[in-house]
Structure 1
Amino acid sequence: MRRIVNITILLYVLFGVSMYIYFFTGSDIGIPVEYKGTSADPTTFMNARELVLSEEYSSVKNFLFFLGTPFEWIVLFLFMVLGVSSKFEQWAKAITSKRFVQFFIYFFYFSISMFLLIFPFRFVSYQLSKAYHISVQSFSSWMKDMTIDFWVNFIMMFVAMHVLLLLMKKSKRRWWIYAWCMTVPLTLFLTFVQPVLLDPLYHEFRPLQNKQLEERILEMAEKADIPANHVYEVNMSEKTTALNAYVTGIGSNSRIVLWDTTLEKLGENEVLFIMAHEMAHYVKKHIYWGIGLGLGVSLVGFFVVYKLVSFIQRRFGKMMRVEGKGSFAVIPLLLLLFSLFSFVISPFTNYVSRYEERQADTYAIEMTKDNESAVKAFQTLAKTGLNEVDPPMLVKIFRHTHPAIVERILFLESYDGKIDR
């Protein structure tokens, strides 16, 4: 066991060193030579200090992501092989004989332990964004968000994992398909209630205060056959200087949302382009396509996890202490496998997302016919968020759900309605 732990830690250290070399010495984040001097060249809209800060911030941020993700996998693995998960189960069963309460106690021990072990990565990320003036959020406000996030995730994951264990106990061969069937209504429900129940836990929403701008946006919505009565703005200036806008919810709970920082730092025509982009997601039914893709991917995921759990319990169950039928200690294994599957499949899901974003950009430029404002919007987005204009390939593949800013700017600047979609 000691050898397994030592090898795991050694591999993680070697991986961390390779990622450090990749992001800080091995990857060139500069744009291709042929784009130098164009509107996509950051030297044309960032000063020298902003260019340096953007390079530093992006490199550290990406490094933390690729360091933090496998760290979570290792923690889950060690929880199994070192018997931590089994010990939590023993403690829970020593307190009460009621299985539901036992699992609640076990899952609380497990969740709070995971939260505390991963907390340093989150804290460093918070401090990083503060140091580079992306975040202006106080530590107390940030901790409030972390606490809310913990309890929201705990409640949802507790219910999901409890039901999953019951299904695994009742049906050894078909639990994965029953579990997937239950995710269908749950996914639709959560997507429907997110704008009115979950999002307000973190942010303050209100109808757009600039009524003249709202009227222009609603005119665009009417032309696009979008049944919208309000555009919402969210108070993000007390937390960040970055810009964002998004569409969320389904059915009558659909909302188009602008951060107040976006309203402060973009001109009206640039905001209109952003709004047209968000309307495109509604018009193109990207939310519904996203739900469908998510459910399809999750079906494959449940099947893959089912096969791997069966194999691991059969071959390595004793060593990893996950051999017992219905044992709570299998939870880290399930979460580890689902997380690994999600990471492995992310290049595909990110590619689909980037395709939809290109569709939305095309729709927006066709609606506004304002190439200059579209380009200016993305230049400001990169400048204020210290975003890398042309990130390294690993980042594009595993992190980016949107096309690189260099690609978006060049596309929008040259778009004349004749480019093949």
Structure 2
Amino acid sequence: MARKIGFYAVVAYAVYGMFFYWYLFYFADTSLPFEYEGSRADPATFLNGRELMLTEEYSKVRNLLFFLSTPLEWLLYTLILVSGLSKAFKRWAEQSAKIKFVQTAIYLFWLSLFAFIGTFPLNFISYSLSKSYHISVQTFNSWIKEELIDFWINYGIMLIIVTVLYWLTNKSRKRWWLYAWLLSVPFTLFMMFLRPVVIDPLYNDFYPLKNKELEAKILSMAEQANIPSEHVFEVNMAQKTTALNAYVTGIGSNSRIVLWDTTLNLLNEKQILFIMAHEMAHYVKKHLYIGIAGYLLLSLAGLYITSKAMNMAIRRWGNDLKISQVNDIASLPLILLIVSILMFASSPLSNVLSRYQEKQADQYAIEMTRDPAAAISTFQELTRAGLSQVNPPLLVKIFRYEHPTMLERISAMEDYEIKQKSKTNMGLSQKPKGQTP
């Protein structure tokens, strides 16, 4: 039975991959609705023929890699279970140490290493793709260094989580999921507080914005938005990518306004101020805290479902998966498999909420800056720099897009511009005759 499960898992992954290849390369329609042709949302009006071709090529392959990556994790965890590797990792850990925590650390290292090696080819293809289309300018040595940093940071965080999780399963077989969730609340907040000052600097250098005149204007906007920031931070991304980005990160006293240096190099002042107004909107409208609350609610439901799914899977396929009970450390790949599936399945909902928040942020930014021309040109530059599709396929938007499409964002700015002109014209028409405007 174990061999059948492994065989069916491989076949299912192959069929899934072929479906998305067919969908993205032959079925999906990314052409613009006729009513938008010739508008400023039409990529033909701001991209040349070569850029249009590269955008379609790059987007199709990048989207295919996205849809292949997460199910590859599911396949790896399934094969680790049915092949007996998880049991072998446990046995090696028990033979190497007597202390329970050290055994957990050794087991998790072997599992993490196997998963890292299994997903490495797809990650390398993704890196190579970005290099070939000049989205990434990062050297291989720099890229592999970041991959290793990722590995060890994820390993350290997972070691804490897994140690606590299996301690809870030993204490309470029925309610471990609830206690795990209760502990996850302060842990999540702590990690959000820690990330800007401890984790992010491991990848990049952050320093106060060199352009003090621009910094003063951004801080003035931040003051209007009641964002507690004394500096705007610049991060050196130009040595890695040509893409553009900016964000407000952290919580409480660790809040930071951050600009990629690529954004500073490629956009003008008005465009940068629009982007910063957008990012500040997330702070003003408490999107970060709403996102944390939503994540915690989803994680509560997810842990409950994981608990039920674990019990059912062990009852039905425990022998085939080489798992005897929930509190067996060898069951960790099954937990990771279920959690990953649930996260993927819930991504359309979380993306809908995220797109709504991003739409709110765009609206806030345009009302603050009142410069639709700068907003539209910003979105056009973001499209060009990232080789992004203006009107992506439906499944790509549902599962991948946390922001509205560029078609939606640019069209919204055009609508705002029309309304403003209409108000201005109406105001002029209502002035008494003979009065100069």
Q: Is the pair's TM-score, using the shorter chain for normalization, greater than 0.5?
A: yes
Give 1:227 deviation, angstroms: 2.4
Contact map agreement 2:228 2:253 (CA 8 A) in 1: no
Partner AA of 1:43 in structure 2 = A
Give 1:22 deviation, angstroms: 0.5
Give 1:92 deviation, angstroms: 1.2
Q: How does 1:147-226 map to 2 (within 5 A)?
A: 147-226=148-227
Partner AA of 2:319 in structure 1 = K
Q: Report the Cα distance in structure 2 between the residues aligned to 1:23 and 1:369, rounded to whole angstroms.
A: 38
Q: How does 1:391-410 map to 2 (within 5 A)?
A: 391-410=392-411
Give 1:226 deviation, angstroms: 2.2
Q: Report the Cα distance in structure 2 between the residues aligned to 1:159 and 1:224, rounded to whole angstroms.
A: 37
Do residues 356 (structure 1) and 364 (structure 2) align?
Answer: no
SS at match of 1:256: strand
Q: Report the Cα distance in structure 2 between the residues aligned to 1:324 and 1:279, rounded to whole angstroms.
A: 48
Q: Which aligned segments of 4 or more residues in structure 1 are displaced greater than 3 angstroms?
A: 416-419
Number of the residue aligned with 2:282 = 281
Number of the residue aligned with 1:271 = 272
Partner AA of 1:182 in structure 2 = L
Give 1:28 deviation, angstroms: 1.2
Quote the sequence identity (%): 52
Q: Report the Cα distance in structure 1 between the residues aligned to 2:259 and 2:418, rounded to whole angstroms.
A: 27
Q: Report the Cα distance in structure 2 between the residues aligned to 1:257 and 1:87, rounded to whole angstroms.
A: 45
Cα separation, partners in 2 of 1:388 and 1:325, compared to 1, 3 Å: closer
Number of the residue aligned with 2:236 = 235
Do residues 21 (structure 1) and 17 (structure 2) align?
Answer: no
Give 1:111 deviation, angstroms: 0.5
Cα separation, partners in 2 of 1:54 and 1:273, compared to 1, 3 Å: same
Do residues 318 (structure 1) and 319 (structure 2) align?
Answer: yes
Partner AA of 2:136 in structure 1 = S
SS at match of 2:323: coil
SS at match of 1:118: helix
Q: Report the Cα distance in structure 2 between the residues aligned to 1:416 and 1:323, rounded to whole angstroms.
A: 64
SS at match of 2:248: strand
Superposed CA deviations along residues 81-114 of structure 1, whole A, max 9, x for unmatched, are 1111011111111222221111111111111111
Superposed CA deviations along residues 302-361 of structure 1, whole A, max 9, x for unmatched, are 111011111111222111112235211100000001101101111111111100000100
SS at match of 1:388: coil
Cα separation, partners in 2 of 1:294 and 1:265, compared to 1, 3 Å: same
Cα separation, partners in 2 of 1:372 and 1:90, compared to 1, 3 Å: same
Contact map agreement 2:237 2:262 (CA 8 A) in 1: yes
Partner AA of 1:270 in structure 2 = Q
Give 1:418 deviation, angstroms: 6.9
Number of the residue aligned with 2:124 = 123
Do residues 144 (structure 1) and 150 (structure 2) align?
Answer: no
Q: Which runs of 5+ in 1 are unaligned?
A: none
Partner AA of 1:357 in structure 2 = E
Contact map agreement 1:366 1:417 (CA 8 A) in 2: no
Could you say what the CA RMSD is over the residues aligned between the two structures, in angstroms?
Answer: 1.2
Q: Report the Cα distance in structure 2 between the residues aligned to 1:269 and 1:325, rounded to whole angstroms.
A: 56
SS at match of 2:258: strand
Q: What TM-score, normalized to structure 1?
A: 0.98
Partner AA of 2:325 in structure 1 = G
Cα separation, partners in 2 of 1:226 and 1:96, compared to 1, 3 Å: closer
Do residues 110 (structure 1) and 111 (structure 2) align?
Answer: yes
Number of the residue aligned with 1:331 = 332
Partner AA of 1:216 in structure 2 = K
Number of the residue aligned with 1:298 = 299
Give 1:180 deviation, angstroms: 0.2
Question: How many residues are aligned here?
Answer: 419
Q: Report the Cα distance in structure 2 between the residues aligned to 1:15 and 1:137, rounded to whole angstroms.
A: 31
Q: What TM-score, normalized to structure 2?
A: 0.94
Q: Report the Cα distance in structure 1 between the residues aligned to 2:101 and 2:228, rounded to whole angstroms.
A: 45
Q: Report the Cα distance in structure 1 between the residues aligned to 2:150 and 2:320, rounded to whole angstroms.
A: 33
Cα separation, partners in 2 of 1:81 and 1:60, compared to 1, 3 Å: same
Give 1:217 deviation, angstroms: 1.1
Give 1:417 deviation, angstroms: 9.9
Give 1:3 deviation, angstroms: 2.5
SS at match of 1:365: helix
Contact map agreement 2:232 2:256 (CA 8 A) in 1: yes
Contact map agreement 1:214 1:230 (CA 8 A) in 2: yes
Contact map agreement 2:310 2:326 (CA 8 A) in 1: no
Q: Report the Cα distance in structure 2 between the residues aligned to 1:408 and 1:212, rounded to whole angstroms.
A: 29
Q: Report the Cα distance in structure 1 between the residues aligned to 2:343 and 2:11, rounded to whole angstroms.
A: 24
Number of the residue aligned with 2:38 = 37
Superposed CA deviations along residues 141-194 of structure 1, whole A, max 9, x for unmatched, are 001101101000000001101110110111001100000001000010000111
The answer to which of 287-296 and 224-233 deviates more is: 224-233
Cα separation, partners in 2 of 1:343 and 1:256, compared to 1, 3 Å: same
Cα separation, partners in 2 of 1:418 and 1:297, compared to 1, 3 Å: farther
Q: Report the Cα distance in structure 1 between the residues aligned to 2:268 and 2:123, rounded to whole angstroms.
A: 33
Give 1:416 deviation, angstroms: 5.4
Partner AA of 2:145 in structure 1 = K
Give 1:53 deviation, angstroms: 0.4
Superposed CA deviations along residues 233-281 of structure 1, whole A, max 9, x for unmatched, are 1100000000011111000101111100001111100000001001101
Q: Report the Cα distance in structure 2 between the residues aligned to 1:138 and 1:95, rounded to whole angstroms.
A: 38
Q: Report the Cα distance in structure 1 between the residues aligned to 2:9 and 2:223, rounded to whole angstroms.
A: 57
Q: Report the Cα distance in structure 2 between the residues aligned to 1:315 and 1:90, rounded to whole angstroms.
A: 24
Q: Report the Cα distance in structure 2 between the residues aligned to 1:295 and 1:45, rounded to whole angstroms.
A: 42
Q: Report the Cα distance in structure 1 between the residues aligned to 2:150 and 2:321, rounded to whole angstroms.
A: 30
- Report which of the two structures shows the higher radius of gyration computed on alpha carbons: 2
Q: Report the Cα distance in structure 1 between the residues aligned to 2:153 and 2:233, rounded to whole angstroms.
A: 23
Q: How does 1:71-110 map to 2 (within 5 A)?
A: 71-110=72-111
SS at match of 1:146: helix
Number of the residue aligned with 2:348 = 347
Q: Report the Cα distance in structure 2 between the residues aligned to 1:218 and 1:7, rounded to whole angstroms.
A: 57
